[in-house]
Amino acid sequence: MEISAWRQTDQPVKSLANHFLIAMPGLNDENFGHSVTLICHHDDEGAMGVVINQPLDVSVAELFNNAGLSTNQLLNPGHPIWFGGPVRQEHLFVLHDQGHQWVNTLKINDNLYLTTSADFLEALSQGQDPGQYLLALGCAGWAPGQLEHEMTENSWVYAMADNQVIFTTPVGDRWEAAARLADIDLTKMSYYSGKA
């Protein structure tokens, strides 16, 4: 089965913000093979997103200890930190479902936000419950026109973002679950090569 991923519908979306970018089975890339990336921003100047299905072998408590933040009141100290992408890996990106007034927050949709400011981490260290969240080191980024070009090469398919896939679907099921949102059964697809 081969499809033109960018033209899954008669009228493709102009922006993939608030969509999952789902790697096709044949995408051979060490960072993005079998990945699901939430696209947080996409316009004529490029795109950025956060990979949601690649946990790192680091817990929230370990990250906080390394950053000199208190772990005594953490509600979920064993929560994993995620690989968000190969760009800006020294920065922490937080996807969350409640729209608190954090210092630096981008609204993705009415119940999904991206925060990059330290006040979120400070709230966690003080035992506050910010709702569902995912902490990721790094992000994915595309130069102007790069993502659009990759879409024409059948490297990716897309589907509207879904909080359940981000926050509650088991990590090993997220790739196929996201693809199902695009009406694609990845287990029935032939593996052909693509590149990111």
Where are the chain's structural domains?
5-188
Give the HSE-up count for residue 114: Cα atoms under 13 Å, Cβ half-sphere: 21
Q: Which residues contact 125 (CB under 8 A, 6 or more apart)?
A: 64, 69, 70, 71, 73, 74
* Whole-angstrom distance, CA of residue 151 vs CA of residue 158: 9
pLDDT of the chain along its 196 residues, tens only?
Answer: 233 344 444 445 578 999 999 999 888 888 898 999 999 999 999 999 999 999 999 999 999 998 888 888 988 899 999 999 999 988 999 999 987 778 899 999 999 999 998 899 999 999 988 889 999 999 999 999 999 888 888 889 999 999 999 999 999 999 999 999 999 987 776 554 344 4
Q: What pLDDT score does 12 carry?
A: 52
**What kind of fold does domain 5-188 have according to CATH?**
VC0467-like (3.40.1740)
Sign, Cα dihedral of 174, 54, 136, 29 = negative
Q: What pLDDT score does 196 carry?
A: 45
Q: Do 1 and 189 form a contact (C-beta atoms < 8 A)? A: yes
Q: What pLDDT score does 5 carry?
A: 41
- 3-state DSSP helix/strand/coil % of the chain, to nearest 5: 25, 35, 45
